[in-house]
Amino acid sequence: MRGEGAGGRIGTRSVEAMLNGLSPDARAFVRDAPAAPSPYESERAEFCDLFRAAHAGSCWREFERYRPSTAAYSPLSFFFNFSHNVVKGAVVDALLRGTPWTLTLNDLLTGISRGAEENADKEALATTLMGYARANPHQIRGRLMPVIVYDPCGLAGGPSP
């Protein structure tokens, strides 16, 4: 990736994949994780030390391109409890509208788009699915919550453990 530069196709996909891989539990990799017994703690700590020493500075600069914003679709703004709920919602919406979406679940998991129209379609589908989820919230930990959220401004705070 360094030879090609992070801006190339492979580099762009690799940076996004790393960020998506780290995002579910970023604290475990960018800061000291809360103390929790784990048989893999020594491996996690070793990875963190090596990552910080060798790549953290350059990765943070590359990750910045993927910061959620209202200017472009970001998969980091899209969260859900189970992927089948996203697929089911897209199918039901297609049946209601009488036309299918041209997007796949994989398309919603990347910010890399083939063009502005696809980027707009991703936002439209994510927002539509969130609308259904907000209209039909599920009870989670005693609170009614949508199971699909698209929040480009980061106001919802994401799912909490």
Domain that holds residue 82: 75-150
**Whether 134 and 94 share a structural domain:** yes
Chain mean pLDDT for the chain: 82
Number of domain units in the chain: 2
Kindly state whether residue 98 falls inside one of the protein's structural domains: yes
Digit-coded pLDDT (tens) for 27-56:
776 666 666 667 888 887 888 888 777 776
Q: How many helices (H) and strands (E) does the chain have?
A: 7, 4
Q: Which residue carries 């919406």 as its tokens?
A: 93
What pLDDT, on a 0 to 100 scale, did the predictor assign at position 52?
78
Kindly state whether residue 161 falls inside one of the protein's structural domains: no
Q: What's the one-letter identity of residue 73? A: Y
Kindly state whether residue 79 falls inside one of the protein's structural domains: yes
**Whether 34 and 85 share a structural domain:** no
**Whether 139 and 83 share a structural domain:** yes
Q: What is the pTM of this model?
A: 0.75
Kindly state whether residue 160 falls inside one of the protein's structural domains: no
**Whether 48 and 105 share a structural domain:** no
Kindly state whether residue 4 falls inside one of the protein's structural domains: no
CB count within 10 Å of CB 86 equals 21
CA 152/CA 141 separation, integer angstroms: 24
Kindly state whether residue 158 falls inside one of the protein's structural domains: no
**Whether 110 and 144 share a structural domain:** yes
Digit-coded pLDDT (tens) for 56-86:
677 777 888 888 888 888 898 999 999 999 9
**Whether 82 and 108 share a structural domain:** yes
**Whether 146 and 91 share a structural domain:** yes
Nearest to 95 by CA among 127, 121, 132: 132
**Whether 85 and 60 share a structural domain:** no
What percentage of the chain exceeds 90 in pLDDT?
A: 37
Burial (CB count <10 Å: 0-12, 13-18, 19+), residue 110: middle
**Whether 45 and 82 share a structural domain:** no
Of the residues 38, 66, 94, the one at which a domain ends: 66
CA 44/CA 78 separation, integer angstroms: 26
**Whether 80 and 56 share a structural domain:** no
**Whether 16 and 54 share a structural domain:** yes
**Whether 79 and 144 share a structural domain:** yes
